[in-house]
Amino acid sequence: MATFTSRKPTITFILREDRWWLPSVAYYWLYRIFRKLEILDRGGRMLSQRQNRLVKRTINTIRKKLTDVDFYIAGLGQTGNFKGYAIDERETVMNREAEVKWCKIYASTHVVIGVHGSNMLIPTALAAGCVEILPEERYGNMVQDLSVRYNDRRQLFFYRFSDQYASPRSVAAKAMAMIAHYDGYYKNMCRNLYSYQENVFP
């Protein structure tokens, strides 16, 4: 954390093609129909393409405010591409080489962004913070797939949640807030939280 504000900001999206960030309830019911008809192999591709558009819109939103940010895509998948948006490090098969490559990316990442159930344990164990898109039906499993690294108020600062139909603007705002406000937050809410007592009670 000593280098959080001195290093170039990096944001990594963790994507899977069986866990989707959906734009609306209509797409949720479309997913349910695909699953009921047992055509998720085809329908899932459409949902993945829609998810990719949400990711690209999030990246564009962040770039309007933070012009010097590195973006990565990690996870299992191959639908679409992110040329001009992010460095795409997705793989179609999990193996040691892929895992090592991703871990190096996570370890240099300021914020990872992913849907609940997208294998977020290792990314959040290595990255500084996260935004998790949490479906309502998973509220009872909050934090289940996250590695909590802090023992102070940074638990609230660095672990943020968006609902399952969150807009790219909302997700982007949460990620940018961590990068932009960490110094002040740590100083006022962690390091100097009780310093006033020295003056009030000499």
Domains recognised in the chain with CATH numbers: 10-200 (3.40.50)
Count of beta carbons in the 10 Å neighbourhood of residue 195: 9
pLDDT digits (tens, 9 = 90+) for 160-197: 999 999 999 999 999 999 999 988 888 888 876 555 44
CB of 118 within 8 A of CB of 16?
yes
pLDDT digits (tens, 9 = 90+) for 73-126: 999 999 999 999 999 999 999 999 999 999 999 999 999 999 998 889 999 999
pLDDT reported for residue 1:
66
Nearest 5 degrees, angle CA 112-CA 148-CA 63? 20
Q: Could you tell me the pTM of the whole model?
A: 0.90
Cα 191 to Cα 185: distance, rounded to the nearest angstrom: 9
CB of 111 within 8 A of CB of 179?
yes
